[in-house]
Structure 1
């Protein structure tokens, strides 16, 4: 089953940053690699569900004209709003995905450490919603922990296998080490040129 929001509420009740997102070198390195993997220098509208306390949100904001971030936990939303309050174009809302998927289309959608919390039905719906909301030349970025996590319905590798098998998406780029996987997808049939090719370098 999809992990219940109560699981996360209990964790945030114990600590305002239960995953150490703001303090661990592991997270800082992961976020630097995540943002560096984005093929485009600037994006128009972006969406980051499951933003937690907004550490990655703050890194994504300078690359986006507008960025909607959301989380299902009130305290995480409050922390993310405080962290991004001075960043132009950022909006943080309380939303539960997939139920509260926002309307509109996006140039960038970021699934960071979220897809492995969904059961098969919800994961399929999230991927369908994400693909439908992605503009034809947009990018979908996914990043997930690769080590075992018994309280998750699936592993990070299994989440990325689901992405790879989704008929509406095509893989553009990726990074993988023993700890996490990060991949960029575009719409199937979209622009699959490399950064150098798109920039006319080769």
Structure 2
């Protein structure tokens, strides 16, 4: 089953930063690696569902003309608004995935610590909408914790296996550690180009 909304509401009722994103080196490093993995120097329009406290969103905003960040918990959106007060190119809204997936298209979608909260049906819908929302040549970044968590509907590795099986995506990068898996895909066609190819070096 998909992780209940009440789980997240209880987490944010106890703390405005329930996973300690603001203080853990693990998360600061992972967020830096996530942004460093982006193949393009600049993106026009990015979407980050499950933005939580907005710390990764702030890093994405430095590389994007506009970022739409969404979270299901209003308290999380309020926390993100505090962290992103100076980021005029970020739009925040409350919404549950995959039901409230926006109708816009994006050249960057970031699924960070999100996919393992969904059952088979909801994850299929989420991933199908992500691919459909990606502009041709746009990039999809997925990063997920790999260790077992009782509240997760599936493992992070399973989420990435499901993404790898999707048509219309070409994997550009994979960073694997004991704790998390980070992968970058490009929407095809056109044929995916490496960073060096995009820079005219290959």
1: CA distance, partners of 2:167 / 2:137: 16
2: CA distance, partners of 1:113 / 1:39: 20
1:10-59 superposed Cα distances (whole Å, 9 cap, x missing partner): 11111111111111000000001000000001000110000001010001
Give the superposition deviation at 1:191: 3.4
2: CA distance, partners of 1:24 / 1:83: 16
TM (norm. structure 1) is: 0.97
Q: How many aligned positions are there? A: 202
Give the superposition deviation at 1:192: 2.0
- State the secondary structure of the residue aligned to 1:174: strand
CA contact (8 A) 2:72 2:94 kept: yes
1:157-180 superposed Cα distances (whole Å, 9 cap, x missing partner): 000000001123221111111111
In structure 1, the residue matched to 2:56 is: 56
- State the secondary structure of the residue aligned to 2:173: strand
Structure 2 counterparts to residues 96-115 of structure 1, below 5 A:
96-115=96-115
Q: Which moved more, 1:92-101 or 1:192-201?
A: 192-201
Give the superposition deviation at 1:88: 2.4
2: CA distance, partners of 1:197 / 1:151: 41
Structure 2 counterparts to residues 82-97 of structure 1, below 5 A:
82-97=82-97
Structure 2 counterparts to residues 17-96 of structure 1, below 5 A:
17-96=17-96
CA contact (8 A) 1:170 1:189 kept: no
In structure 2, the residue matched to 1:8 is: 8
Structure 2 counterparts to residues 175-186 of structure 1, below 5 A:
175-186=175-186
CA contact (8 A) 1:37 1:174 kept: no
CA contact (8 A) 1:98 1:125 kept: yes
2: CA distance, partners of 1:142 / 1:9: 24
User: Residue 121 in 1 paired to residue 126 in 2?
Assistant: no
CA contact (8 A) 1:108 1:139 kept: yes
| Moved beyond 6 Å, runs of 4+ | none
1: CA distance, partners of 2:48 / 2:169: 18
CA contact (8 A) 1:172 1:185 kept: yes
Give the superposition deviation at 1:132: 0.4
Give the superposition deviation at 1:151: 1.6
